Amino acid sequence: MNILGIETSCDETAVAMVKDGKKILSNLIASQDMVHQRFGGIVPELASRVHTEIIDSLFLKALRKSKITIREINLIAVTAFPGLKGSLLIGNTFARSLAFANHIPLIEVDHLQAHLAANFLHPPQPLPQEIKFPAIGLVVSGGHTNLFYLENRAKIRPLGETLDDAAGEVFDKVARVLNLEYPGGPALERAAEKGNPSAIKFPRAYLGKKSLDFSFSGVKTSVIYYVKRYGLNNIPDIAAGFQKAMIEVLVEKVRRALRFKKVKTVLLGGGVVSNKVLRQEMRKLALAEGINLFIPSPILCTDNAAMVASLGYYLYQKNLS
Ligand code: KG4
Ligand code: ZN
């Protein structure tokens, strides 16, 4: 089964072709970083305009790269929510028109859940060993920080979410306060590599002993006050201290979810999961707790349409059964 995935929820226009929910035949991502860079953040109106300009040619390129004709597409999966309204509209209108004109079934996909489906794909990552469900899923992206319980690949329910800022959003904001380049997350990780993570202790919000929700506005404010008071002479240490505070909370929440749900598998996803220190700390947790951990290749952590196609495939199978 050939599944076409379409993703336009934010500032990446992405089109992918995936075979049977697993094998990536093409995975094209047109980043708009250059467009939004000079504004220091995403401008929604500009994002939708760029999606409109390139989605058509990206789709044709994906067909060529996959050596597939429109007639050979068996299913179209499109990100329906959450995201920027105008941006989502472009991908959805394109997907619907294509489906309608060519009599191809269409399935709507939740972007957050799709981030977890990045673990089902190959290449560039090897095909994972059998993933044993149930599992805990953690999605850490620019707009969201969510914990999920996965009964199987297609039955996913929420366990916790951020009560204020998303982790990626805070990485971006702190990077801006530290005068680092856009996009902030990767720049902050690079700055932190030269710093001492224990030099400055920023607060961690655990929200009591049982909560599976997140709160990151406190650590963000704390960095802003630190910079107001002491200035920017010590960027690597500030970056490293901030990164450590963020990661410790993320790891602790996964540890809790594993204990509460008595689950042996963890799937990660979302742009922030490309952070090397986060990956390393999650691996340590997996070793200590004796669980199977799945982390997508960095290119599949950030927004892409292959993950949308994969989740679409499993949802479609579930609907058929
Ligand atoms: O999942 P994603 O591509 O888009 C959303 O759905 O939001 O995530 C983008 C977020 C941005 O906030 C970006 O700064 C962050 O992921 N990010 C990182 C790293 N790479 C990307 N954050 C921390 N460390 C990184 N290496
Ligand atoms: Zn995303």
- SS3 of 70-139: the string is HHHCCEEEEEEECCCHHHHHHHHHHHHHHHHHHCCCEEEEEHHHHHHHHHHCECCCCCCCCCCCCEEEEE
Judge if pTM exceeds 0.75. yes
For the stretch 11-40, pLDDT in tens is: 899 999 999 999 999 999 998 888 888 887
- 153: domain range? 135-296
Residue 115 within any structural domain of the chain: yes
Residue 129 within any structural domain of the chain: no
User: What is the structure's pLDDT at 50?
Assistant: 92
Residue 130 within any structural domain of the chain: no
In this structure, the answer to whether residues 140 and 285 fall within a common structural domain is yes
User: What is the structure's pLDDT at 40?
Assistant: 77
Residue 128 within any structural domain of the chain: no
In this structure, the answer to whether residues 165 and 261 fall within a common structural domain is yes
298 Cα nearest atom in ligand 1: 20
CB-ligand 1 contact for 302 (6 Å cutoff): yes
In this structure, the answer to whether residues 200 and 276 fall within a common structural domain is yes
Task: Tell which wins on pLDDT, 33 or 229.
Answer: 229
- Residue 265: DSSP 8-state: E
Mean pLDDT of all residues belonging to the chain: 96
- State which amino acid sits at residue 95: A
Q: Is the model's pLDDT at 321 over the cut of 80? A: no
In this structure, the answer to whether residues 10 and 110 fall within a common structural domain is yes
For the stretch 91-112, pLDDT in tens is: 999 999 999 999 999 999 999 9
Number of domains in the chain: 2
In this structure, the answer to whether residues 156 and 119 fall within a common structural domain is no
CA nearest to 116, candidates 142, 82, 90, 141: 141
pLDDT tier for residue 267 given thresholds of 50, 70 and 90: very high
Helix (H) or strand (E) holding 293: strand 292-294
In this structure, the answer to whether residues 117 and 144 fall within a common structural domain is no
In this structure, the answer to whether residues 186 and 81 fall within a common structural domain is no
User: What is the structure's pLDDT at 284?
Assistant: 98
Q: What distance in Å separates the CA atoms of residue 3 and residue 83, rounded to the nearest whole number?
A: 22
Q: In this structure, what CATH number is given to the domain that contains residue 233?
A: 3.30.420.40
Calculate the CA 39 to chain-centre distance. 22
In this structure, the answer to whether residues 215 and 237 fall within a common structural domain is yes
In this structure, the answer to whether residues 67 and 106 fall within a common structural domain is yes
In this structure, the answer to whether residues 257 and 306 fall within a common structural domain is no
Q: What distance in Å separates the CA atoms of residue 250 and residue 275, rounded to the nearest whole number?
A: 12
Q: Is the model's pLDDT at 119 over the cut of 80? A: yes
User: What is the structure's pLDDT at 32?
Assistant: 82
In this structure, the answer to whether residues 185 and 307 fall within a common structural domain is no
pLDDT tier for residue 151 given thresholds of 50, 70 and 90: very high
Q: Is the model's pLDDT at 58 over the cut of 90? A: yes
Count of CA atoms in the C-beta half-sphere (13 A) of 176 = 15
Q: How far is the CA of 303 from the centre of ligand 2 (A)?
A: 5
CB-ligand 1 contact for 7 (6 Å cutoff): no
Distances (CA, A) of 49 to 80, 110, 245: 18, 22, 37
Which residues, at least 6 apart from 123, have a Cβ–Cβ distance to it below 8 Å? Answer: 24
Q: How far is the CA of 169 from the centre of ligand 1 (A)?
A: 8
Which of 272, 275, 276 to mutate for ligand 1's pocket (most ligand atoms within 8 Å of CB)? 272
Residue 103 within any structural domain of the chain: yes
For the stretch 165-223, pLDDT in tens is: 999 999 999 999 999 998 899 999 999 999 999 999 999 999 999 999 999 999 999 99
User: What is the structure's pLDDT at 39?
Assistant: 85
Q: What is the mean pLDDT of residues 251-258?
A: 98
Q: Is the model's pLDDT at 144 over the cut of 90? A: yes
Residue 17 within any structural domain of the chain: yes
Give the closest residue (by CA) to ligand 1 atom 8.
271
Q: Residue for token digits 């957050």? A: 112
Q: What percent of the chain has pLDDT over 90?
A: 90
Q: What distance in Å separates the CA atoms of residue 289 and residue 59, rounded to the nearest whole number?
A: 43
Pairing assessment for the beta strands 106-110 and 265-269 based on DSSP bridges:
unpaired
Residue 15 within any structural domain of the chain: yes
Q: Is the model's pLDDT at 257 over the cut of 90? A: yes
Residue 108 within any structural domain of the chain: yes
In this structure, the answer to whether residues 69 and 185 fall within a common structural domain is no
Distances (CA, A) of 186 to 4, 19, 76: 29, 31, 32
Burial of 163 (0-12, 13-18, 19+ CB in 10 A): middle
